[in-house]
Structure 1
Amino acid sequence: MTVMERPPFSGLETGDTYHLLALLPGMNPEHWQVVLDQLEDPTQILGMTPDSLRALGLPPATRQALTAWQAHGLEPTTRQRLAHAQQQCGYLGIRVIHWCHPEYPEVLRHIHGPPPVLYCRGDIAALDRPCLAMVGSRHASRDGHNHARRFAHALAAGGFSVVSGLALGIDGAAHEGALESGGTTVGILANGVDRPYPRRHEGLAGDLLQAGGLLVSERPPGTPARAHLFPQRNRLISGLCRGVVVVEAGLRSGSLITARLAMEQGREVFAIPGSIHQPSVRGCHRLIREGAVLVETVEDIVSELGVWESVSSQMEPEAETAPAHLDEASRRVLEAVTYEPVDSDSLCRATGMAASDLLQAMLLLEMEGLVESTSGGYRRRSG
């Protein structure tokens, strides 16, 4: 590769140079990986000849921007983008952690296509703790929400930073569980950290920051949420963490993308199983068949990672005893109901009760919030 003797970016600070790399038009994680593979110093790209840039396989828009800069200095559009990003970061208190910065997460350097800069809003020290990601369906079941909150609560209380994507469903429940424990949680966004997405979670993002958490993105302030940015974001969720816990996931979901990226990055993948009749957990079951660790308790995660055994004590199994005020018939029915749907005939046989007595007891248990009616009969309510 041919590099000019006097690169035209010599007057820029190191941080500004990497910031510029992040804003070059047309560049994506694949192109950045090629630069890292081919050049000892990634900033050399800014002084390379047109033929060398073409040999690197960089897209035309990137080559044109670099060639124009070398000929005439930083062209107005790119200069304006850099100035605007710097201005917004300063105004909003967003830190730009570049590739050579001592606070750039070391674990992220070794993933495929690590970003040249990270935009961080909040306390960067949240990444100093061992990080564990928790992901799942945006349309999670009640059980899924409960699992995410309880596991995140215990993990955060035990010293982990719980990492997720601030999305609806499992992501939001994981962040909330971590906050309820007084622990730390980190949101990785596909858009700018100045505009949390979805809008419904702006309050959650504010609570996260107030509690000493962190919002992270590779996109500059002002970047809106776009569909193609979410899969790229997912590599950061898994890349920053020791492992990924998949709470609920269908067979086609972004959570499975994150899990597969985690496997490629050498991270542990954990999956919480569920009912075989529930479509939203089939992705978890597939992951378990492919080698993910089946998770029933926080201990399953902690023992696999080999860190902070004290975490497991934060989540003792809930006692399955019936409330003291229930009558004998209701207690007998509650003992017969499981977390899988059970039909009325089966419950009558298991309890030896007449259908009318069973129905009366079940109505009481539903009013107490202990069981719920489903298409397949009745089941216990978790959480």
Structure 2
Amino acid sequence: MEEIRSLLWLVMVLGAGNPQIWTLLHRYETPEAACAALKRPDAAEELHLPAHVWRRVRDTGEAQVEEMLERCSRLQISLLWYGDAAYPEALLSIVNPPVILFYQGNLTLLREHLLLTVVGTRNPSEYSLCVEKAICRDLVLLDFVPATGFAVGADITANLCAAEAGKPSIAVMGCGLDVPYPGPNVGYKQKILDTGGLLLSELLPGTAPSRSSFPMRNRILSGISMGTFVVQAPARSGALITAEYAMEQGRDVFCVPPADLFDKRYMGVIKYLRDGAIPVFDSRDIIYEYYTSHAHMIAASALYAENRRKSGSLVMELDEKKAAAAPQKSSAAKPEPVLETVPPEPAVSDEALPEGLAREVAALLRQQTVMHMDQIAAELDASMEELTTVLTELELYGAVERLPGKQFRIL
């Protein structure tokens, strides 16, 4: 707890996101030693501190730190510091990671789930909203967790897609967690928490949003996720700052292709598509990037629903599906393109299969439709050697199909 108090003092004095905090930590090795060095009478001259920082050094004491901790406790805001085991390794690997994060909600989302940052303009077109809703609904059903900057428009749409499906999402704030900003979204904070989500900020409680706070937030937003999904962005959109951070951090960048090449509302994504961003025509364009390495974390059975065309493209087919993507006025309207998980009829009956483990595997796949080999072994307590033999037999019988990434589905 002493580390938390020392780091909190450093943040209160130097400001959240100030890289000089890391300079001091590297130089003096511990938060306590860094604080002691900063409080020395000759620190201002030795460390080249500006006058306003030196004033805060003199004016900020233990009482102010305790007052901030009490405020956090009263607001049910918890603190996570970089030395905590719960601190996400992905975030620690970025340039100038936050030394302290303030949070409310389910912190395990940062380490035990597939996170995808979703960003876009505050004024998305109807086309972009239709594409985003359909793709995000698919992704949350497959246990992806969307992370957004909680802005109006494309950001909050992703949070609401998750909430409506009863799934968690993450909102990274550009202000203190207790600050009611942005006004139109304030009521959605509790909705995110009620569905097992997470609210996150680097900024001290009570900190109002400013122009500099949003780029600071965006480096965290891209840093906690495996990739950043840009829904729509004009050339000077703040969403592109997040995409730029993602590129610098070695993360994937996904973009919805422009609806109109000559429409300035979509110009921002063209640069990233030219520079190697992954075009997204369907949710599977995102899913396929991760299911070989994270198959055990993806509810993969929905990927291979029989009624979903393998070559289908949500974006290319959007015009003919407008009636499905728009609000429905009657029960006769076409359904929205959401993945279904209805298992197909078995191609081979149990009686035609060898007794024992082969029938157990077939029965399990019939329930789950698609499973990773590791999951099958865990569920049936089978050795990998035995399971490999049985799965090969089932393939020869025509009972199962081997999919990429050591996954199998029933036929």
> One fold, TM greater than 0.5?
yes
Alignment of 1:15 with 2:8, yes or no, is no
Q: In structure 2, give the amino acid aligned to 1:204.
A: Y
Instruction: Compute the displacement of 1:159 (Å).
Output: 1.7
For 1:233 and 1:225, locate their aligned partners in 2 and report how far apart those are by CA, in whole Å.
10
The change in CA–CA distance for 1:41 and 1:83 in structure 2 (over 3 A counts) is: closer
The change in CA–CA distance for 1:118 and 1:50 in structure 2 (over 3 A counts) is: same
Instruction: Compute the displacement of 1:292 (Å).
Output: 0.9
Alignment of 1:162 with 2:146, yes or no, is yes
Alignment of 1:240 with 2:224, yes or no, is yes
TM-score (norm 2): 0.68
Matches for 1:26-41 after TM superposition, within 5 Å? 26=15, 28-41=17-30
Q: Give the SS at the match of 2:96.
A: coil
Aligned counterpart in structure 1 of residue 276 of structure 2, from 277, 282, 291: 291
Which moves more between the two structures, 154-163 or 214-223? 154-163
The change in CA–CA distance for 1:28 and 1:166 in structure 2 (over 3 A counts) is: closer
Q: In structure 1, give the amino acid aligned to 2:294.
A: V
Contact kept, 8 Å, 1:32 with 1:113, in 2: the verdict is: no
Once the two structures are superposed, residues 122-142 of structure 1 have per-residue CA deviations (whole angstroms, 9 ceiling, x without a partner) of 121222312110000001111
- Give the corresponding residue for 1:323: none
For 2:29 and 2:214, locate their aligned partners in 1 and report how far apart those are by CA, in whole Å.
30
The change in CA–CA distance for 1:289 and 1:35 in structure 2 (over 3 A counts) is: farther
Matches for 1:212-223 after TM superposition, within 5 Å? 212-223=196-207
Q: Give the SS at the match of 1:137.
A: coil
Aligned counterpart in structure 1 of residue 36 of structure 2, from 41, 47, 65: 47
Q: Give the share of equivalent positions with the same residue, in percent.
A: 29
Contact kept, 8 Å, 1:154 with 1:315, in 2: the verdict is: no
Once the two structures are superposed, residues 220-252 of structure 1 have per-residue CA deviations (whole angstroms, 9 ceiling, x without a partner) of 211122222111110110011111000101110
Q: Give the SS at the match of 2:271.
A: helix
For 2:301 and 2:167, locate their aligned partners in 1 and report how far apart those are by CA, in whole Å.
15
The change in CA–CA distance for 1:246 and 1:56 in structure 2 (over 3 A counts) is: farther
Contact kept, 8 Å, 2:10 with 2:21, in 1: the verdict is: no
Contact kept, 8 Å, 1:248 with 1:284, in 2: the verdict is: yes
Contact kept, 8 Å, 1:54 with 1:63, in 2: the verdict is: no
Which moves more between the two structures, 56-65 or 92-101? 56-65
- Give the corresponding residue for 1:6: none
Contact kept, 8 Å, 2:86 with 2:108, in 1: the verdict is: no
Aligned counterpart in structure 1 of residue 288 of structure 2, from 303, 309, 321: 303
Q: In structure 2, give the amino acid aligned to 1:96.
A: L
Once the two structures are superposed, residues 288-345 of structure 1 have per-residue CA deviations (whole angstroms, 9 ceiling, x without a partner) of 10111111112111222343364583697978xxxxxxxxxxxxxxxxx97679xxxx
- Give the corresponding residue for 1:322: none
TM-score (norm 1): 0.73
Q: Give the SS at the match of 1:124.
A: coil
Contact kept, 8 Å, 1:26 with 1:61, in 2: the verdict is: no
Q: Give the SS at the match of 2:169.
A: strand
Alignment of 1:62 with 2:59, yes or no, is no
User: Please, what is the CA RMSD of the aligned residues?
Assistant: 3.0
Structure 1 regions of 5+ residues with no counterpart?
1-11, 69-74, 320-336, 342-364, 372-381
Alignment of 1:127 with 2:110, yes or no, is yes
Aligned counterpart in structure 2 of residue 231 of structure 1, from 209, 215, 224: 215
